[in-house]
Structure 1
Amino acid sequence: MAKKYIFITGGVVSSLGKGITSASLGFLLLSYGLKVSIVKIDPYINVDPGTMNPYQHGEVYVLDDGAETDLDLGHYERFTNLTLSKKNNFTTGQVYFTVITKERRGDYLGKTVQVIPHITNEIKKRIKEAGKDKDVLIVEIGGTIGDIEGLPFLEAIRQMGYDVGRQNCLYIHLTLVPYIKTAGELKTKPTQHSVKELQSLGISPDIIVCRSEKRLNNEAKEKIAMFCNVEKRAVINAVDVDTVYEIPLKFKEEGLDKLIIEKLTIQPNKEANLNEWKNMVESIKDPKDSVTIAFVGKYIGLKESYKSLIESFIHAGASMNIKVNLKWIEAEDLEEEGTREKLLGDVDGILVPGGFGSRGIEGKIKAVEYARKNKVPFLGICLGMQTAVVEFARHVAGLAGAHSSEFNKDAEHKVIHLATKWEKEGQIIERNEASDKGGTMRLGAYPCQIKTGTLAWHIYKRKNISERHRHRYEFNNSYRDVLSKHGLIISGESPDGEFVEIIELKDHPFFIGVQFHPEFKSRPLKPHPVIKAFVEKSYESKTTKSTT
């Protein structure tokens, strides 16, 4: 059990930034030498977001242990550089599934199973397990105050104040303070109503974080403090900023870190030093140059579907003091004749990311072909690597109609197919076409061995790496020899040789495909080497073009 708990709730509207707020607090507290962890509780009944449409929920973030989690876990890991696990994210579905399983097993000895105490006890048990051996555990409650799905969680965190002692528990409420343009003023009433709703559930916030377009004036802070029963200094303004990585610095300016340390009577182990983070933020805000990379995706209507990938390019650009401009291209648009030169002719690099389903596949293959033929730096991730293999098989190796069995089960040459058996941490995992969709992919961190002398070796500069995966289909080893004979380089594979992890081409400035998702391990102060190398080569391509 953690020594101290911080519970973060939200009101008025969703998507205010509870995840970024939680991640920023984690970063600030870690800078004092404290042992910190973060939990995200999602009130939806899905067991996890693995089967949810990215358009509805955004990116599914994958952890080392294979847990498919909410995208806020990505914020947590990026800001804090922690490696989290499945205990750091749980849902209503998981809680009820556990309680019902116990009831069927007879664990409750015939008692009537109820929300209180059985559901709330399970919630508290999971929170306490996640905080084991930590100085501070930050717990973010998804959704907004008033959502019926969130009531058991709010009751559970109310009880936590009683269980661990109010002096060891801090409640932070995040609200919106809208700016009404016609009136020319910020309105505090939505915040007052939101806090009133929270208080009616037995929780009085200690700190209120106010999201606003414009800075709160003294009068607005005093009004919120008086009507919401908090100290004026505990009304923290979270004004819109140029980059989310600036938020911890703004919170520090507002004194939020010192306020939390004081209210929880925490003894810091060292003084915070944020200089390296400040330099990174300045590089993002004031880059010396830019580079343009085509992002050939199929969920571009909702950029949150590619959240970690977008952030990984920000990290890489900041390390070089350049801005990476992503040119969003709908994969289906490339399927029309005459569109490739028009859409791809002005970019410095081409990225084909992961995805599921057949829509836009031929467009992705055409993007790969354009990059290969025109010597444009190329990076394929997951499905992007698979489409690169299909394109090479069709147009270089002469395997007409080559495809992935995911999209054409009758293809003559299934160069990508469903892997049915593999080992993970000593456990044999099996699947087939009839397997459930949820949790049946090759998920989480797997080892990869890199061949010396290859582009991958040049990028990583070591033989053994570990990367996170989220996919069902794999390179078909039956085609290794024929594709290799025509020039496809298999530069990374699983230690047992069963899975192809990295492919590349020689006689090309930069052409690499990876079966894993490098973006999940990219950090603001430590960009992922594959993403960074791709950005560097794309920038080099731009500067070469400008001098010729």
Structure 2
Amino acid sequence: MPRYIFITGGVVSSLGKGLASAALGALLQARGYRVRLRKLDPYLNVDPGTMSPYQHGEVYVTDDGAETDLDLGHYERFTGVPAAQSDNITTGRIYQNIIDRERRGDYLGATVQVIPHVTDQIKEFVLSDAGDVDFVLCEVGGTVGDIEGLPFFESLRQLGQELGRDKALFLHVTLMPYIKAAGEMKTKPTQHSVKELLSIGIQPDILLCRCEVPISASDKRKIALFCNVPEGAVIEGRDAASLYDVPLEYHNQGLDREVLKRFRIEDAPEPDLSRWKNISETIHAPDGEVTIGIVGKYVSLLDAYKSLMEALAHGGIANNVKVRLKWLDSAQFEGGESLAPLEDVHAILVPGGFGERGAEGKIAAVKFARERNIPYFGICFGMQMAVIEAARNLAGIDGAGSTEFGKPDVPIVGLMTEWVRGNEVEQRSAGGDLGGTMRLGAYPAVLVQGSRVRDIYGADHIEERHRHRYEVNIAYREQLEAAGLKFSGLSPDGVLPEIVERTDHPWFIGVQFHPEYKSRPFDPHPLFASFIAAAIEQSRLV
């Protein structure tokens, strides 16, 4: 049976529990252990799929089509372990399951209550489908004391009792602010957070204290005394220069050693951190710098593009350059506004998005990249805008547009209501629920021989993750290809366009899927590596 590490947080949100979980998973992996990471989200949505990016940030998609919290992206990037539907649960999904069971009569007339029915469902999720691993790291979203999180904390308290100290460990991430006016670090927020955790029956074993400056030995002793933990279990979690420095920083502070010590594992091998050291060295000593202009609609909350940002950084690692991102709201380019902000970038990327706002600005950015021979990468919505731009300005199809925005004269992009996945037909209706009705998860594609993407992937068949409702209409393929936009990747049945590219351009590719979901710092996605290489070439021309 695996050992379970429960990661909780206190004082404020955004302390980096997800990153801490991912980094600890990577450290345990580096010692030869097999890990699995999970996320418990207390909100009432069934999943984040219908939530605004401004509210929740990025929705991360797994191979099996789960729309999940962005922390699962951290888990995958740091450990390389594919996440699944069974690795993210919400209060909404828990209650939905319970109500469905109650309506069927599964509870045999019993009064359905938070304890034991809700807590039992949470425990069942935590313990299920763990696989053949040594450690399961389970993160609880939000902060201790949040009313919606209470059933989750109670479930973990019960699991701590049932599993015993040899199989369960509680890691609490908290805040130690530095008050500049007083010139000192404050331990009270950490003390109060632990007190709140104790009030619901959980004694933390390890404290990861997020801070901006080093924690003094006296402050560590003070925290250990008042929070009832060993002094060595007070771990400094200082801000790092790069995300990918975090495993090394936490190892230097003894986080993984303290975990093994708490589990009384004395024969653990020393970690092999060579690949993390190589990544860190590459990040901090690049050979140059390129600037990528990202023309999106959620640029006021960069967490909406978390995986994209990391995938571009991975492309930089692959080419040993620093990637500087220039964020541009696509709405600023609508109505004939100047495209001058794009003049100094070495490549342009239009990411995914939903809705009409900013669409014309994205089309203008596509045209700018095409006419100026600037490397262009369109992802999901960005591919659709590239197709519409080619239809309007090169193929002479007046009125070309997307049915996502209403009823265009020519629906170059439209709602797909039926498609094939494996041996099954999947369907959706225009008036159906929004949640979980997109084309979601991994789908195969066949690449055209002699195409740029075939050379980039080095393969004839690929499988990439999707998250979208609308598709490019294959009926316009002949007209678009005559205008220079080649359909270089298609679904196996040839019905769904997956990739388009231009052969008369230095680097111009649009993909219907989200390649950023599968990029890793130690295994950069080939499209991002190639895109950044093209940006480097562009930088030499300007």
Report if TM-score (shorter chain) is over 0.5.
yes
Deviation at 1:423, TM superposition (A): 2.0
Please name the residue that 2:458 is paired with.
Answer: 461
Question: For residue 492 of structure 1, what is the aligned residue in structure 2?
Answer: 489
Find the aligned partners of 1:332 and 1:277 in 2 and give their Cα distance.
39
Q: In the alignment, which residue of structure 1 is the partner of 2:373?
A: 375
Q: Deviations over 1:246-282 (max 9, x none)?
A: 1110111111111111211347674321112111112
Question: What is the Cα deviation at residue 66 of structure 1?
Answer: 0.3
Aligned to 1:137: 136
**Worse-superposed segment, 16-25 or 28-37:** 28-37
- AA in 1 matched with 2:299: I
Any stretches of 5+ residues in structure 2 without a counterpart?
none
Q: 2:498 aligns with which of 495, 501, 513?
A: 501
In structure 2, distance between residues paired with 1:366 and 1:291: 22
State the partner residue of 1:366.
Answer: 364
Q: Which residue of 1 aligns with 2:179?
A: 180
Deviates more, 1:262-271 or 1:382-391: 262-271
Cα distance in structure 1, aligned partners of 2:133 and 2:158: 20
| 2:403 partner amino acid | S
Which amino acid in 2 is paired with 1:82? V
Equivalent residue, structure 1, for 2:400 = 402
**Structure-to-structure mapping, 1:20-419, within 5 angstroms:** 20-266=19-265, 270-340=269-339, 342-409=340-407, 411-419=408-416
Q: Partners of 1:99 and 1:426 in 2: how far apart? A: 31
Q: Secondary structure at 2:414's aligned position in 1?
A: strand
Distance 1:454 1:136 in 2: 43
Structure-2 separation of matches of 1:203 and 1:130: 25
SS at match of 1:145: coil
What is the distance in 2 between the residues matched to 1:321 and 1:481? Answer: 40
Partner of 2:434 in structure 1? Answer: 437
Q: Greater CA deviation, 249-258 or 179-188?
A: 249-258
Query: Matches of 2:113 and 2:222 in 1, distance apart?
Result: 40
Task: Please state whether the residue corresponding to 1:167 is helix, strand or coil.
Answer: coil
Paired letter, 2:431: A
Deviation at 1:3, TM superposition (A): 2.1
Asked whether the 8 Å contact 2:4–2:135 carries over to 1, the reply is: yes
CA RMSD of aligned residues (A): 1.1
Q: Matched residue of 1:194: which SS?
A: helix
1:472 aligns with 2:446: no
2: distance between equivalents of 1:45 and 1:494?
35
* Residue 527 (structure 2) aligned to one of 521, 530, 533: 530
Any conservation in 1 of the 2:62–2:85 contact (CA below 8 Å)?
A: yes
Shift of 1:240: 0.7
SS in 1 for 2:370: helix
Shift of 1:161: 1.3
Cα separation, 1, equivalents of 2:131 and 2:122:
15
Instruction: Give the whole-Å Cα distance in 1 for the aligned partners of 2:365 and 2:439.
Output: 26
Q: Which residue of 2 aligns with 1:427?
A: 424
Q: Identify the residue that residue 7 of structure 1 maps to in structure 2.
A: 6
Alpha-carbon separation, structure 2, partners of 1:443 and 1:113: 33
CA distance in 2, matches of 1:164, 1:273: 30
Which amino acid is the alignment partner of residue 187 of structure 1? Answer: K
Q: Distance in 2 between matches of 1:451 and 1:34?
A: 41
What amino acid does structure 1 have at the position aligned with 2:163?
V
Amino acid at match of 1:400: D
Question: Partner amino acid for 1:116?
Answer: I
Q: Is the 8 A contact 2:7 2:138 kept in 1?
A: yes
Structure 1 unaligned segments of length 5 or more: list them: none
- C-alpha spacing 1:181/1:269, structure 2 compared with 1 (3 Å): closer
Following the alignment from structure 1 to structure 2, what is the Cα–Cα distance between the partners of residues 501 and 464?
12
Give the CA deviation at 1:424.
2.2
1:448 is paired with a residue of what secondary structure?
strand
How far apart, CA to CA, are the structure 2 residues paired with 1:320 and 1:447?
Answer: 28
Take 1:489 and 1:106, find their aligned partners in 2: how far apart are those partners? 56
Q: Deviations over 1:25-79 (max 9, x none)?
A: 1101111111210110000000000000000100000000000000000000000
SS of the equivalent of 1:443 reads: strand
Aligned residues: 542
Shift of 1:338: 4.8
Rounded Cα–Cα distance in structure 2 between residues aligned with 1:157 and 1:542:
53
Kept after mapping to 2: 8 A contact 1:39/1:130: no
Q: Does 1:518 pair with 2:515? A: yes
Deviations for 1:315-362, whole angstroms, at most 9, x for unmatched residues? 11122221111111110111143511x111111101011000100000
Q: 2-side partners of 1:3 and 1:398: how far apart? A: 62
Letter in 2 for 1:464: H
Percent identity over the alignment is 53
Aligned counterpart for 2:537 among listed residues 529, 537, 540: 540
Residues 214-243 of structure 1 deviation map (CA, whole Å, 9 limit, x = unaligned): 110101101000000000000000001111
How many angstroms apart in 1 are the aligned matches of 2:428 and 2:444?
A: 20
Letter in 1 for 2:475: S
Letter in 1 for 2:380: C
Aligned-residue offset at 1:130: 3.9
